[in-house]
Amino acid sequence: MSNIMDYIKKYKDKTFDEEEFNELDNLVFCQILYLDFLNIISSKRKPITLNSAIKSFLNKNSYKDISKYGIIKIGGYKVIKQIEDTKRYKDVLVYNYIYKGDNNKQFGALTFKVKKNLIYVAFEGTDHLLSGWKENFQMSYEHLVPAQECAINYLNKYIKLFDTNIIVGGHSKGGNLALISSMYCNRFVRCKIKKIYSNDGQGLRKEQIESKNYLKIKDRYIHFVPNYSYIGILLRNDKYEVIKSSRKDILSHDIFNWQVQGTKLIRANLSTISKNLEKSVILWLNNHDKDEREKMITNVFDALEKSGIYTTNDLLDIKNSIKIIKNLNSIDEETKKLILNFLHFNLNYIIKNSKL
């Protein structure tokens, strides 16, 4: 059973002229972005090689340092260790690195110049900040959440006149940011975009998926979801390609569990559990209008923040859990159920990650 690491090992000595950029390289770049390259890669158009960035990062960070932040960061660390000094990736140029994380938003982006006429723009998925999770839920009622606005501004600001053959992509929330930014960036930028990869990213609100903006980019949009998807089937989707995963739980979201053959992800059929979840999500969206969704989700995160929860790691503190339970008494039953489901989801995810 092969995965992304096996792909890297097999094709590490092939340049992008010898073996064209493909859907697996897209996953490699998305995973790298989960690492913090502040003070290593410039926020301006001052390119350095990816190999230089990797060496600087590894000089500053050990595996032990990275492991404190969970499986997503560990995955990024494993990837850069695997691609360091490889013929395929070492001369890729990287620049325009941005990371913004506070109580209202979580956003990261990086530009990869693969070769002279090919650029890949990656958007980061949800990390350990609770604000990132909050934005995921806000997408159900807000036209544009803060990270989505940042993504649109990023494309408009950093894609220049002579940039051609742009590919935009991301994993998880980053996939949604790739889609939204491509839909709402200016016309000059949008015409340069050749492909949009959403790797198990959330879908769109009804108004968005029925909009002219979506129709303009739909033919370039590639949405991958694992056969046991719990994230990519959220909100509304009218197209996706199902990928075979080695896991049947929430860890199917992890790209290291996606099965690979050659330069392709192995296709599969969506599982019954994911089909049922998709139907449940649509039913919930249909049964609750925008104001109801906003009220419920605002109450959820107000309760979490009052309990001192600002990162997913805070959920493991038993004292914080007691505070959350106390704060549940002041809200309605439906919102209370939503909070408990949210806690159950995240605690299971974190506990499983800690065992890997």
Return the pLDDT at 251: 85
Secondary structure letter of residue 200 according to DSSP: S
Closest CA to 73 of 337, 312, 328, 250: 312
Asked if residue 81 and residue 15 are part of one domain, the reply reads: yes
pTM of the predicted protein model: 0.88
- Residue 243 falls within a domain, yes or no? yes
pLDDT band at 215 (very low <50, low <70, confident <90, very high): very high
Using CA atoms, how far apart are residues 312 and 343, in angstroms rounded to an integer?
10
- Residue 51 falls within a domain, yes or no? yes
Instruction: Name the more confident of 319 and 179.
Output: 179
- Which of 223, 238, 271 corresponds to the end of one domain? 271
- Residue 277 falls within a domain, yes or no? no
- Asked whether residue 93 carries a pLDDT value surpassing 80, the answer given is yes
Asked if residue 333 and residue 251 are part of one domain, the reply reads: no
Asked if residue 311 and residue 266 are part of one domain, the reply reads: no
Q: How do residues 171-188 score in pLDDT, each as one tens digit?
A: 999 999 999 999 999 999
| CATH number of the CATH domain containing 11 | 3.40.50
Asked if residue 344 and residue 240 are part of one domain, the reply reads: no
Domain count, the chain: 2
Q: How do residues 255-295 score in pLDDT, each as one tens digit?
A: 999 999 999 999 999 999 899 888 888 887 888 888 888 88
- Residue 94 falls within a domain, yes or no? yes
Number of helices followed by number of strands (H, E) in the chain: 15, 10
- Asked whether residue 194 carries a pLDDT value surpassing 60, the answer given is yes
Q: How do residues 124-151 score in pLDDT, each as one tens digit?
A: 998 666 677 778 778 888 999 999 999 9
Using CA atoms, how far apart are residues 343 and 330, in angstroms rounded to an integer?
17
Tell me the mean pLDDT in the region 55-74: 90
- Residue 276 falls within a domain, yes or no? no
pLDDT band at 346 (very low <50, low <70, confident <90, very high): very low
Asked if residue 109 and residue 48 are part of one domain, the reply reads: yes
Using CA atoms, how far apart are residues 71 and 15, in angstroms rounded to an integer?
29
Tell me the mean pLDDT in the region 79-90: 98
- Quote the tokens at residue 191: 């015409």
Which residue segment(s) compose the domain that 131 sits in?
4-271
Which secondary-structure segment (H or E) carries 88?
none
- Asked whether residue 342 carries a pLDDT value surpassing 70, the answer given is no
Secondary structure letter of residue 313 according to DSSP: G
- Residue 139 falls within a domain, yes or no? yes
Return the pLDDT at 335: 58
- Which of 271, 301, 316 corresponds to the end of one domain? 271
Q: Where are the beta strands (DSSP E) in 53-117?
A: 93-101, 106-115
Return the pLDDT at 306: 72
- Residue 127 falls within a domain, yes or no? yes
